[in-house]
Amino acid sequence: MYTSLPFLLNIEMLTDHQQQLRSLRPVLQGFRDSRHWSVAHTVVEWLSKIEHLPNKSNEHHQKLKTLLDQELPSWRAWACWQPNVARIKKWGKLNLTLQGQLRCIIALDGPDFDSNGKTLGKSLPDHKLPKDRRTSSILTFNGETHEECLYMAEKLLRLADKSLTYRPEDREIFFHLMTGVDILRRKLDLIEILTSVGFETIRDRIAEAYLLRGASKQTQIDAVKWLLKKMNANPKYRTLRDVFAVDFGPLVKDMIQEERSHLLAFMFVAEALGTNVMTFEQQLDLRLDLVEASWLQPCAEYSHMLRVMDTWPLPYERTILRGIYLSLEMSPRASTSTSTLVPMISSRILGEPETPDDDSKSMLEALMSLWQTCKDSARRSIAICLVSEPKSITINLRILCLNQLPSLSDSFVQSYWHIVCDDLDNRQRSCVAFADLFASASLSVDMTHWTTLLRHEMVEEGEALLQYTLEHLTVQSWVLYLQNLHRLYGSDSNCTFSPGPPSPVIFTPQLLYWGRKLVPYTDILNLLKETPDSIDARRCLFLAAAEHLYIQARIQEILNALKPARRSKSDKTDTATRVSLLKRLSKDGSNAAEVRNALVGLNNLSPSGIEVCARIQHLSEIDLSPHVHQVFLEAWLPDPSLHAGDRGSLKTVFLHSADGNLSRDEKFVLAADYLDSEYVELLHEARRLAALRASLKTVDLQGVVELLADIGIEDGPHSEDVLASMPPEVLNAVEIVGEKEVEILFPLTHFTQIQRTALGLGSLQSFVLLLELCDHKTTPDRFCIHLGPESKDRTLGGLLDNIDGKVSPWSNTCRLGGLKTSSLCMQPNSFRNPFEYNLTKMLQRRLPGSNLGQDLTSLPELHEIITHHLKNIGRYCTECGRTFCTNLRKPTTCQLPRCIYLFANSDPQVKFPHLTEDQLVTDLLFSSLHAAASTSNKELLPNYPTDPPTLLSQLNNVPPLSNNPPLDTQTSSLLTYTLTSHRSYLLTATGSLKIPSLPPGTLQFLLANSTPEREALFSNPPQEKRILFHGTNPDRLWAILVQGLRILSGTDLQTNGAVSGKGVYLSDCPRVAFGYSTKILKIPDEGAWKRSALKGKGWKVLLGVEHRGESVAAGEGVIHVVREERDLVVRYVFLVPEGGERSVLVKGHLVPGMGSVCGGLRSGAL
């Protein structure tokens, strides 16, 4: 389309092609960006014809040029473009990778959009270049003149064109040398030579030297050595050498430096890296070749390469340096050693002449020499420490020590190394140890260098060293330390190599002279060292007295006063007092006279004064306020046994520290607090010893009693001996909490969750029986029961202590030990749950009728009785204790009217546990009672004293029970009848007690036990038992719960025909039995009391029944007729919601779970 456009030169047609010219503009820009010159040349070739048309100046041509200028501004550059057509076609056939690599070069064959030249490479417009360089828009040609730049551009294009004929691996050299935008004539000449005939082999080697074609480091080394030898010997390569020298020099330098880096990595990283390191033989060959390569001398790196090769470490030096580096981690001063030696080793390996300095090099050479000479680890480790010493210690001194180290004895070296290791974190202690070591060694060896090193260390430590010696050295050690310093340094401590700060105080000559004067007082001065906060006094005695004569005279008087007349007693206290007086010394000795007077006064005390002094000194050794000492001293001073001189001396000794402005009363308060704390500690200690004595008696009662009698210690009360003779299980449960009172702890952990619900125990794990030891026949009820946390709050401390008028926390709740307060625990109707009631009834029966609880000897028997009762709590009548034949899950009464009456009149919380423990059961009982009363049939209300209408009225007036409201007499009577007229234990089935696969929404209730008489029949193991089902109506449920399933065939209460004769009709298929439940418990229909939580739904009743004895199936085995009422016991009551009959009730889904629960109830597992 575009090629035919210019030949439509009619002026009227030009306007029609304006849009076509406009669309050509982005096409040409695309060619320019992508360097697709061959395609572009085909598209724009017609523009050159317009440029050369005759009569350019006529009007038609002017309009044509105007149109082109408007729609195609770059048309003149395209029109003037005259490329090498064959070459640009060859460019166009290259793959994209090669085009990308040659992109900058290909641009030289493109149009010149700046000056409209033939090509960009042929013009390189001079007016747009810097004066000293000729630059295109893409490449920089480093020619001296414009003509030279044009020549270089054409040569570059020619060489690039020629490179397309090379093998792909040969092109790598061209691209490597042409990398970047700077084009050097030298590199063009080098490429031209390498591409000449006869240079194929050397071209391959140069590629390997540049690590091209996948060459390895070893291949590079071999290639460089081969090139050096060939170009040194063969004149053929002279021209190549002249061109290649400038590039080859840096290549060889980088290779050598990289090899040194590899060697350094071998030193510091891993032995395996050694395989990549140039061998020593290769290094020697390379150096010889470099020496002969004089043609490399113009290269600036040539001399540096030779220096680096000269410093290449020998093989044994590599081993030594690596050994030094590996030893740094084991050095006690690893971090310091590493930071010092690693730069030295790195410089030695890399051959960097500028670092480190000559002294550091000399020190490393001395270390390497020692490493080669000495093989023992101690000397090597000491050498590393010496090299790592602070910069303040001159390198020359460290080198001298390194040179002397091999000749020192093994014992000296070992001792030196032990000091370095042991005192790594305590440089002050090491200074003292080194002084002793060097002084001993100086008798046979010149220790000048080492003592100079030690002095530097002592100067560095300064005040810290002095503080350490005063705090930790005894008098003998202090004098020995000063003697060692005198032996090492004499009177002149400014040794060779010790410029810097002046000598520390420790070098003062007078210290040794004065220190020897302190030796006779070693014992007391060493005691002063052990006394806390005595550093100022020791500084005065050891330093200030030696430096100042006037202080020395006062201290001498103090020392003289430390020699008292021999005393017959209290020598230890006397010494302690003298030490405390010495401790008062200030570090400058300004109070020396005061201390001297106090010591003189102490020496003048009479025996009575010494006794008082000992007591005050004892108080001073306790961390108390000085005002307490003053109060006690003032209390003792008026003692007539004290002499007048004693009073003044005691004041001098002790009243110095009573500073402050406290009033007399405030001082007395401090003293009283101290006495109170002492009293409490004595009381605690007495209790601890009493407990220890009691514990020992449990092991050997008679032996402990005899031992106490022999050593004259008062024995404990007789009760303690009685307790010690008890069995361990009783002894661990009994605590004596008063003169006549004991606590006995019993666990409750054996009760199952069903039993806990029945007894109202919740999660309680234990209870405490508080018992008064007395004759319970004449004084009954001398006990009380406390459950769980309550027993922990009332521990033995409450009854044992009666301090500051605080009475036992139990005294207001228990009538024990003759207390006048009324018993809150034993008041009528004060029981909080059935458990307390049951256990109290048992104790009230057993204690008055025996000698139990009369004294401690009866406690084991009482403990056994209560423990047995707790394990069988459901086996006895709650009121009279009559034994049942089975252990019920919930304790109940026997059938005696008196027992039933007593229980019916007990605490509401005892007889109505469902009100708080299981309110849904109460709701079920009321609902069934309401359904029965609604029939007006009194036979469905066994033992109820009033008529059904009255019962309905009472039921409708019962308040909601969810908030446990107060109960009036009428409601209480109704609840008593409802919850106690049946002796079974009914509870809501939850958790593992629930039977799965029942219709959704079914309420399940479990009769954990029936009457004791009925449960006794079912506890007989040989009896065969099975699960059956019985469907009934809500109005019959109450009578069934109270009396059990009864045979009503032939009576007015018969519901269905007795086809198989008299008996109770059941089915082993729950679906069949459920069909006989015809009435619904529903509001507002009959059969529900108006406050029932069950309202809102209709319910049918299905009973799960346990049958004992042989099978009595009738018909096809679905219906069972039981002739004996005692062979049946109801276990489950299922309230199935209305519509639940549509669900399938499967025998196989219900019977296994019900059988498991029944077995668990009989075994006691539930």
What is the Cα–Cα distance from 838 to 915, expressed in whole angstroms?
19
Do 1147 and 1099 have their domain in common? yes
Measuring CA to CA, which residue among 860, 857, 858 is closest to residue 849?
858
Burial class (CB in 10 A: 0-12, 13-18, 19+), 91: buried
Determine the pLDDT at residue 806.
40
Determine the pLDDT at residue 989.
92
Q: Is the pTM of this model over 0.75?
A: no
Do 505 and 546 have their domain in common? no
The pLDDT of 1007-1017, averaged and rounded, is: 87
Beta-bridge partner residues of 266: none
Do 996 and 931 have their domain in common? yes
The lowest-confidence range among 239-243, 492-496, 925-929 is 492-496
Task: Answer with the one of 850, 871, 892 that is the final residue of a domain.
Answer: 871
Determine the pLDDT at residue 828.
44
Write the DSSP assignment of 102-119 as a string of letters: THHHHGGGS--TTT--S-
Q: Give me the numbers of helices (H) and strands (E) for the chain, helices first please.
A: 56, 15
Identify the H or E element spanning 414: helix 410-422
Do 326 and 459 have their domain in common? no
The dihedral over CA atoms of 399, 401, 403, 406, expressed in degrees to the nearest 10, equals -150
Task: Answer with the one of 551, 580, 612 that is the final residue of a domain.
Answer: 612
Position 422 confidence tier, pLDDT thresholds 50, 70, 90 = confident
Position 187 confidence tier, pLDDT thresholds 50, 70, 90 = confident
- Give the residue, 503 or 92, on which the prediction is more confident: 92
14 found inside a domain: no
701 found inside a domain: no
Give, to the nearest 10 degrees, the angle between helix 185-194 and helix 200-209.
Answer: 130
Question: Tens of pLDDT along 578-589?
Answer: 888 888 888 888
The sign one gets for the Cα dihedral 962, 956, 760, 1043 is negative
Q: Residue 92 CA to chain centroid, in angstroms?
A: 68
Determine the pLDDT at residue 1134.
93
What value does the mean pLDDT of the chain take?
Answer: 78
The pLDDT of 306-334, averaged and rounded, is: 76
CA distances from residue 1032 to 601, 1029, 1064, 1128 in whole angstroms, order as listed? 109, 10, 12, 15
Determine the pLDDT at residue 807.
38
Measuring CA to CA, which residue among 919, 918, 917, 931 is closest to residue 1099?
931
151 found inside a domain: no
What is the Cα–Cα distance from 306 to 998, expressed in whole angstroms?
100
What is the Cα–Cα distance from 1054 to 1063, expressed in whole angstroms?
11
The lowest-confidence range among 462-466, 760-764, 1047-1051, 1094-1098 is 1094-1098
Determine the pLDDT at residue 269.
65
Determine the pLDDT at residue 7.
42
Domain tally, the chain: 5
Give, to the nearest 10 degrees, the angle between helix 626-636 and helix 664-699.
Answer: 90
The pLDDT of 813-818, averaged and rounded, is: 42
- Give the residue, 187 or 876, on which the prediction is more confident: 876
pLDDT at 1132 over 90: yes
1104 found inside a domain: yes
pLDDT at 802 over 90: no
Residue 863 has φ and ψ, to the nearest 5°, of -60, -40
Measuring CA to CA, which residue among 858, 889, 847, 859 is closest to residue 872?
889
CB atoms within 10 A of CB 223: 21
Do 463 and 388 have their domain in common? no
Do 999 and 1099 have their domain in common? yes
- Give the residue, 941 or 103, on which the prediction is more confident: 941
What is the Cα–Cα distance from 1120 to 1113, expressed in whole angstroms?
4
Nearest 5 degrees, angle CA 296-CA 302-CA 305? 135
3-state secondary structure string, 1097-1165?
CCEEEEEEEEEECCCCEECCCCEEEECCHHHEEEEEEEEEECCHHHCCCCHHHHHHHHHHHHHHHHHCC
545 found inside a domain: yes
Task: Answer with the one of 871, 895, 930 that is the final residue of a domain.
Answer: 871
CB 287 within 8 A of CB 306: yes
Do 402 and 429 have their domain in common? no
CA atoms within 13 A on the CB side of 225: 16
What is the Cα–Cα distance from 279 to 301, expressed in whole angstroms?
22
CA atoms within 13 A on the CB side of 355: 10
pLDDT at 698 over 70: yes
Question: Tens of pLDDT along 949-958?
Answer: 888 888 877 7
CB 459 within 8 A of CB 390: no
pLDDT at 277 over 70: no
Determine the pLDDT at residue 133.
40
Question: Could you tell me what percentage of the chain is helix, strand and coil, using 3-state DSSP and rounding each to the nearest 5?
Answer: 60, 5, 35
Write the DSSP assignment of 117-182 as a string of letters: -S-HHHH--GGGS-TT-EE-SS-EE--SSHHHHHHHHHHHHHHHHHHTTS-HHHHHHHHHHT-SSE
One-letter amino acid of 978: T
1157 found inside a domain: yes
pLDDT at 318 over 70: yes
pLDDT at 90 over 50: yes
Both tokens assigned to 52:
């050369």
Order of strands, edge to edge, in the sheet holding 1099-1108?
985-988, 1003-1009, 1128-1137, 1099-1108, 1025-1032, 1064-1067, 1119-1122, 1113-1114
Position 480 confidence tier, pLDDT thresholds 50, 70, 90 = very high
Give me the CATH number covering residue 1091: 3.90.228
Do 346 and 474 have their domain in common? no
Do 472 and 583 have their domain in common? no
Q: In 583-733, at which residue ranges do the beta strands (DSSP E only) sit?
A: none
Do 802 and 863 have their domain in common? yes
What is the Cα–Cα distance from 562 to 600, expressed in whole angstroms?
9
Determine the pLDDT at residue 871.
92
CB 527 within 8 A of CB 579: yes
What is the Cα–Cα distance from 565 to 165, expressed in whole angstroms?
120
Location of structure tokens 């074609």: 213
576 found inside a domain: yes
Determine the pLDDT at residue 415.
92
Q: Which residues contact 929 (CB under 8 A, 6 or more apart)?
A: 941, 951, 955, 978, 1038, 1089
The lowest-confidence range among 117-126, 232-241, 618-627, 818-827 is 818-827
Both tokens assigned to 1085:
């229909």
Do 1116 and 1012 have their domain in common? yes
Question: Tens of pLDDT along 764-775?
Answer: 888 888 888 777
Burial class (CB in 10 A: 0-12, 13-18, 19+), 862: buried
Location of structure tokens 């209870």: 767
1060 found inside a domain: yes
- Give the residue, 527 or 1112, on which the prediction is more confident: 527
Whether the link from the prior residue into 780 is cis, omega within 30° of 0, is no
Q: Which residues contact 1159 (CB under 8 A, 6 or more apart)?
A: none
Position 829 confidence tier, pLDDT thresholds 50, 70, 90 = very low
Question: Tens of pLDDT along 36-69?
Answer: 888 888 888 888 777 666 655 567 677 777 788 7
What is the Cα–Cα distance from 225 to 219, expressed in whole angstroms?
10
What is the Cα–Cα distance from 1154 to 997, expressed in whole angstroms?
12
Both tokens assigned to 818:
């003759």
Domain with 382, as residue range(s), is 313-407
Do 502 and 456 have their domain in common? yes
Tell me how long the chain is: 1166
CB 866 within 8 A of CB 859: no
